[in-house]
Structure 1
Amino acid sequence: MNRRDALARVALLMGGAVIGGDYFLSSCSSPSEEKTTAKTPPTAAPKELPAVLNAEQVAYLNEVGDTILPPTKSPGAKAADVGGFMAVMVRDCYRPDDQQVFKQGLTKLEDAAKQKYSKGFLALDAAQRTALLTALDAEQKNYIKTKKPEAPNHYFRMIKELTLLGYFTSEVGATKALRYLPVPGKYDGCVPYKKGDKAWATT
């Protein structure tokens, strides 16, 4: 599945444009990178951007992602290391203000868990995690309905978008959750479908 197809599918699932999608399509030429390298001579090697998320936060996001896309007949989001994917995307494809919203969102998610269950997200059982994230998903959907263009994005929408995008563009997602042909054959615009068939990762 190419980047454009992946973004289109996630946008369809989420009901709107994917945050940072333009930069993902352009190989993540980050807005923050553009600012920091604007005066760098063309012959100089580009500097690697500093990490926005640490290893503990990446592990945390893998657990959140695995609640959004848990293992079933196919591996869940953690098997695809969506936390690591999010760390790269937030660093390379998000504007500084969105990076800040995302990082603060991890604290808000943890606070929401403690407020509802008197313990952190990682200490919750599977049912509690699902209930919490379902409530946060409803919250972000309501927020989007009335969001003004200048208002900040919702952190949980970012997390959910990146979970879906990271999973379905990973080897695990493409080959285990979807149907994958390394070398697709001829184009067939009318393929028989029966209920329960997996979608195609390759077209």
Structure 2
Amino acid sequence: MNRRDAVARVALIMGGALIGGDYFLTSCSSPEAEKEKNGSAKAKKQEKPFLSQEQVSYLNEVGETMLPATKTPGAKAADVGSFMAVMVKDCYKPADQQIFLKGLTQLEQASQQKNGKGFLESTPAQRMALLTALDAEQKNYSKTKALEAPNHYFRMMKELTLLGYFTSKVGSTQALRYVPVPGRYDGCVPYKKGDRAWATT
């Protein structure tokens, strides 16, 4: 199974609840992706990347704050920033793409307000406190928002960090327990507190 199939299945298991889940289930074919597919080779050459390398690196740091390296590799080792760039470009509606892009600026502004410095200049403890506050903010917003209201940028970042990490090679084989050729299906596996979850069963 390739990674795209895995992502589609995760979205299906979650009931398409992920932001952009509707596109996940249709193989990430956003209008922009269709235009690109049908465009000329010349147009493709001139196309700017959706996120700059600096923005991808920034998102890797955001992801690493959520899933830091411990005994297992963190989000940066899985390059979740690059994963987010591809998924937002190919699988999110244009309105959500703009919210995500604007969210990079909003996160930086929130860091300046809370810590008096940018996210990258903040200490690990300051970064964690900021993201914890933003997570609480997005949860409250998501509970009360109208169906047609825009999504919260931090929810997108958090969802994509988790999805990108746990469907990556390092996430599924080192953070989770992985058996490349599993045996029979066992729906009731013994579990002890502290055991890693299974990427395959």
TM-score (norm 1): 0.87
Unpaired runs of 5+ in structure 1?
Answer: none
**Structure 1 residues 110 and 129: alpha-carbon distance in aligned structure 2, compared to 1, 3 A threshold:** same
Q: 1:176 is matched with which residue: 145, 161, 174?
A: 174
Residue 7 in 1 paired to residue 11 in 2? yes
Q: Which moved more, 1:161-170 or 1:179-188?
A: 179-188
**Cα RMSD after superposing both structures:** 2.2
For residue 193 of structure 1, report the CA deviation from its aligned partner: 1.2
Residues 7-51 of structure 1 deviation map (CA, whole Å, 9 limit, x = unaligned): 367x59xxx8101122223321123234x369x49xx88x75742
Shift of 1:194: 1.1
CA distance in 2, matches of 1:50, 1:150: 30
User: What is the CA–CA distance in structure 1 between the aligned matches of 2:69 and 2:154, rounded to whole Å?
Assistant: 20
* Aligned position for 2:80: 82
What are the residue-to-residue correspondences of 1:79-158 with 2, within 5 Å?
79-158=77-156
Question: SS in structure 2 opposite 1:165?
Answer: helix
Report the Cα distance in structure 2 between the residues aligned to 1:202 and 1:164, rounded to whole angstroms: 17
Q: What is the deviation of 1:150? A: 1.3
Contact 2:57 2:81 in 1 (8 A): yes
Once the two structures are TM-superposed, the CA of residue 117 in structure 1 deviates from its matched residue by 1.2
Query: Letter of the aligned partner of 1:31 in structure 2?
Result: P
Unaligned runs of 5+ in 2: none
Q: Distance in 2 between matches of 1:56 and 1:37?
A: 24
Q: Is the 8 A contact 2:73 2:170 kept in 1?
A: yes
Distance in 2, matches of 1:5 and 1:199, equals 17
CA distance in 2, matches of 1:146, 1:79: 35
Q: For the residues of structure 1 that align with 2:137 and 2:59, how far apart are their CA atoms?
A: 19
Question: TM-score, with normalisation over the residues of structure 2?
Answer: 0.88
Cα 1:88–1:37 change in 2 (3 A) is closer
In the alignment of these two chains, the number of paired residues is 194
Task: Write the letter of the residue equivalent to 1:167.
Answer: Y
2:19 partner SS: coil
Q: Distance in 2 between matches of 1:182 and 1:75?
A: 19
